[in-house]
Chain A
Amino acid sequence: QLQLQESGSGLVTPSQTLSLTCAVSGGSISSGGSSWSWIRQPPGEGLEWIGYIYHSGSTYYNPSLNSRVSISVDKSKNQFSLKLRSVTAADTAVYYCARAREQAYFDYWGRGSLVTVSS
Chain B
Amino acid sequence: DQQVKQNSPSLSVQEGRISILNCDYTNSMFDYFLWYKKYPAEGPTFLISISSIKDKNEDGRFTVFLNKSAKHLSLHIVPSQPGDSAVYFCAASAQNSGGSNYKLTFGKGTLLTVNP
Q: Is chain B a partner of chain A in the same complex?
A: no
